[in-house]
Structure 1
Amino acid sequence: MHDDDTPDFWRNLRREVRAGRAWIDRAIVLAAAVATGASVVGVTLLCEAASHLHERMRTSGPLGPWLMLLWTPVLTAILVWLTRRFAPGAAGSGIPQVMVALDDSLAPERRRALVSLPLAIQKAALLGGTMLAGLSAGREGPTVQIGAGVMLSVRRWLSPAARIDGHDLMVAGAAAGIAAAFNTPLGGVMFALEKLSRRHHAAQSALVIISIVLSGLVAVSVFGNLTYFGQLRVQSLSLQLLVPGLVVAVVAGLLGGLFSQLLVSSLAPGPGRLKRWRQQYPVRFGAACALGVAVIGLVCQGSTSGAGYAPTRAMLEGQADVPALYTLLKFMATWLSSWTGVPAGVFAPSLAVGAGIGRDVAWLFGLAPEHAIPLIALGMVGFLAAATQGPLTAFILVMEMVSGHAMVLSLMLTAFVSSGISRLICGPMYAELARLLMPGRQPPQAPPEPVR
């Protein structure tokens, strides 16, 4: 064999061994990924503890539910004041802030106001308060901003020649937040590719993807290798569910688009009595919205408070203890909670609303509980895809969360149908909300979808 035909294995190996600084940079990034996963685990435990404490307060005697009419508005007013006074960049979901921060032309001080380690700590504390208040909010969107802040904080320790920069670190941290929060590493990777990264080299970076998966594995090591709603097995769709399934996809698309439009329109500046009130008296306005959430919670015995994990799981298990008007009430409570201006995500509440849509359609068609379960799963993926207009992310997340591999094609089709219908009503929600943070500029564009 000629020398020209000799493989470069040993030469490449020597080059890698001599690249000591590159290995240090990689170790720093992977350590940050572990720290991101651990921080999301901490946020998860904090939010669960806050939710459980709120539930104990609500059920503490006959006056407990009525006391929430005072507790929720007062605590929300405090949270709104704290957010606006000390951490204005922590308001809302956090995903639009990350999308703005990913703009390479953004001034460094503006980026730090949207994504940083101190802001991540403040966001986590305020998010715990949101759950303690009993608002209808999820932790998954906020963990995107928290994860991005944790990962970005290690940029100062990387060498100038490091192949991964601040943009890649934020993408890895944001997606790692989703992966660890939902216990779905593959969903985190898809979220990064579909909604965040607009660089081809970042989307193909092995180090970024490894960081996302590693953060997800940290959550798995703490909470166990279980699906998000346990070991539930969702059956495949039969022909008799074809029409109900199509109805679920259409209704989820319409309501998801309406939810996105309501949220964007509510938070956008403009004329109108309510908008002027929100602008001039944000603390009072937040308290009024929280009072509406508390009234809704009183009507439905607290089932609309928090992220909605328990009602969603109850519906997937065929239990009938969810209020008849749960879908509408959860929809309204989530919208009002987001309108307050406190840190609040919509991922998990969207899953709860979608589950309610599937249950309602199953009831409308007179289906047995075992036949309603597939429709509930379709409703979850449909409303999430419509609200976020991220069909691939919604499909992967729900499939992993309900162990719905038998419904792969049905879930995927529903995600694309619902997302397509939503686009007829409203533009991409997170991009539109990001545009509101950058007046006079075009919203950040998600990367082009793969050819289907």
Structure 2
Amino acid sequence: MLSDGAKTRIRGFLSGEAWKRRVALWGGAVAVALAAIVFARLGDAASRLFASALAFSPYWALAITPAMFALLAWLTRGRLKGTRGSGIPQVIASVQSRDHALRENWLSLKVVASKLLLTVAALAGGASVGREGPTVHIGAGIMHGIGRVMGYRDPYQTSRFLLAGGAAGIAAAFNTPLAGVVFAIEELSGTFEHHFSGVLLTAVIAAGVVSLGLMGNYAYFGHANVSLDFGAGWWAIVLCGAVCGLLGGAFARLIVAAGAGRPHWLFKHRARSPVWFAAACGLALALLGLWLGKGMFGTGYEQARELLQADHSSGGLFGAGKLAANLVSSLAGIPGGLFAPALAVGAGLGDNLSQLVPSAPHQAVILLGMCGYLAGLTQAPLTSAVICMEMTDNRELMLPVLATVLIARACSALVCHTPIYKALANQLAGTGAGQAAPAQH
């Protein structure tokens, strides 16, 4: 005979309300995956369009990039302010908020659809931004809309749908299902709910199955079959963790300060003339591109992949230049994320640091640089570790990667005391619906 507790659990599992919620979440996850695939296709096409203009003449960047930055700043001055930046702070603030009006301003279908199109436009203009953070925003918005249509409007149920949407978005964008779960727990919510973990996992699996079926089984950066033997090479862990963590923390601190309008002497000009300020940022990016090459534009995915697959260091300035390119793109306050460009910066920094530890395999140091910088920027070590291992299909470096991200997280905290997305979410919550400072990333 079944106990009363077992009977209650069975009735709960079979209840119509439980299945209604499951169907809504699974159907929403499929919709998020499809949106992520469309977003990826459009983003790649936009990047190729800009690359074709550069192939005709690299000086086209001096006209295209400032003009696109100015246009995006103008388009996002009013009701579309919620599209600025990566969108992850908007999702975090929405998960924590009980204000329906604020959620609508950040997560309405109009906002997330505009987010997709405007980020694609940013990539067409050469902006050094990624689409992974915006995919989290889009995923949460889609889930928010489906939840409301299905009648799930109370704050607790809404938060469930937002977490599932964000997790499904990151899983579909990177083809990293496990990272989607860890990201939702570590970054979006900061807590682990036992009763929701299974629902979250199945939603991510649904998104992963759709992405796998339509895009194929692939590793985002290819397969990195490399290991790091115990010994002198392990100094690479300390080096990448400390240097990349400090630089990631410094970048985060600059973005958080910009969101608060500091330094005042600079950002009073952005407040007075946001369109011209964005155009100036676009011009700075174009000049960086003319100096250091086309890798300064876009996500930096191709350059990071080339560095990761190379057998020796290039000794170039790609890492430092890409960091500067990401900074001016972020300060412009246009739509676009930080994840993919951060991985490109980390790859460039790892390439430079590999010269200091010749006993360590070049590919291993590149991978440690990628996860170290991402952990320093986001202060989300587990998410950074899982993303990097899943994106490169590498399990041999699990312990070195975990050690690197923990060192990077500690070093980053010395520079930026509050994690970047949490700090920007707090700024959003403090300024109200759509009235945040322009650099909300």
The TM-score, its normalising length taken from structure 1, stands at: 0.90
The 5-angstrom pairing of residues 38-187 of structure 1 reads 38-60=34-56, 64-105=57-98, 107-159=99-151, 165-187=157-179
C-alpha displacement of 1:24? 2.7
Q: Answer yes or no: is the 8 Å Cα contact 1:21–1:159 preserved in 2.
A: no
C-alpha displacement of 1:334? 0.2
Q: Deviations over 1:73-111 (max 9, x none)?
A: 011111111122341100011111111111243x21111
Q: Distance in 2 between matches of 1:358 and 1:173?
A: 32
C-alpha displacement of 1:363? 2.1
Q: Specify whether residues 237 and 345 from structure 1 end up closer, same or farther in structure 2 by C-alpha distance, changes over 3 A only.
A: farther
C-alpha displacement of 1:67? 1.3
2:423 to 432, 437, 444: 432
Q: Distance in 2 between matches of 1:6 and 1:436?
A: 52
1:354 maps to 346
C-alpha displacement of 1:438? 2.4
C-alpha displacement of 1:175? 1.4
Q: Distance in 1 between matches of 2:280 and 2:155?
A: 49
Aligned length: 431
Q: Specify whether residues 14 and 252 from structure 1 end up closer, same or farther in structure 2 by C-alpha distance, changes over 3 A only.
A: closer
Amino acid corresponding to residue 367 of structure 2 in structure 1: A
**Identity among equivalent pairs (%):** 36
In our comparison, the structure showing a higher alpha carbon Rg is 1
Q: Which structure 2 segments of 5+ residues have no match?
A: 433-441
Amino acid corresponding to residue 58 of structure 2 in structure 1: P
CA RMSD in angstroms comes to: 2.4
Q: Distance in 1 between matches of 2:13 and 2:419?
A: 46
Q: Does 2:332 match 1:336?
A: no
Q: Which structure 1 segments of 5+ residues have no match?
A: 442-452
SS in 1 for 2:296: coil
Q: Distance in 2 between matches of 1:338 and 1:395?
A: 24
SS in 1 for 2:397: helix
1:384 maps to 374
Q: Answer yes or no: is the 8 Å Cα contact 1:314–1:321 preserved in 2.
A: no
1:196 maps to 188
2:220 maps to 228
1:26 maps to 22
Q: Specify whether residues 161 and 384 from structure 1 end up closer, same or farther in structure 2 by C-alpha distance, changes over 3 A only.
A: closer
Q: Answer yes or no: is the 8 Å Cα contact 1:235–1:406 preserved in 2.
A: yes
Q: Distance in 2 between matches of 1:163 and 1:19?
A: 22
Q: Answer yes or no: is the 8 Å Cα contact 1:37–1:215 preserved in 2.
A: yes
Amino acid corresponding to residue 108 of structure 1 in structure 2: H
Q: Specify whether residues 6 and 155 from structure 1 end up closer, same or farther in structure 2 by C-alpha distance, changes over 3 A only.
A: closer
Q: Distance in 2 between matches of 1:438 and 1:164?
A: 18
C-alpha displacement of 1:319? 6.4
C-alpha displacement of 1:323? 7.2
SS in 2 for 1:405: coil
Q: Does 2:261 match 1:269?
A: yes
Q: Answer yes or no: is the 8 Å Cα contact 1:300–1:323 preserved in 2.
A: no
Q: Distance in 1 between matches of 2:29 and 2:398?
A: 30
Q: Deviations over 1:381-413 (max 9, x none)?
A: 100000000000000000111122001000000
Amino acid corresponding to residue 82 of structure 1 in structure 2: L
Q: Specify whether residues 206 and 13 from structure 1 end up closer, same or farther in structure 2 by C-alpha distance, changes over 3 A only.
A: closer
1:396 to 368, 372, 386: 386
Q: Answer yes or no: is the 8 Å Cα contact 2:311–2:363 preserved in 1.
A: no
SS in 2 for 1:246: helix
Q: Answer yes or no: is the 8 Å Cα contact 2:314–2:351 preserved in 1.
A: no
The TM-score, its normalising length taken from structure 2, stands at: 0.92
Q: Answer yes or no: is the 8 Å Cα contact 1:192–1:203 preserved in 2.
A: no
Q: Specify whether residues 125 and 236 from structure 1 end up closer, same or farther in structure 2 by C-alpha distance, changes over 3 A only.
A: same
1:444 maps to none
22-31 or 305-314: bigger deviation = 22-31
Amino acid corresponding to residue 425 of structure 2 in structure 1: A
Q: Answer yes or no: is the 8 Å Cα contact 2:147–2:153 preserved in 1.
A: no
Q: Distance in 1 between matches of 2:10 and 2:313?
A: 65
Q: Distance in 2 between matches of 1:358 and 1:27?
A: 44
Q: Does 2:394 match 1:416?
A: no
2:437 maps to none
Q: Distance in 2 between matches of 1:284 and 1:389?
A: 32
Q: Specify whether residues 236 and 276 from structure 1 end up closer, same or farther in structure 2 by C-alpha distance, changes over 3 A only.
A: same
C-alpha displacement of 1:236? 2.8
C-alpha displacement of 1:245? 3.0
224-233 or 272-281: bigger deviation = 224-233
2:304 maps to 312
Q: Distance in 1 between matches of 2:138 and 2:374?
A: 21
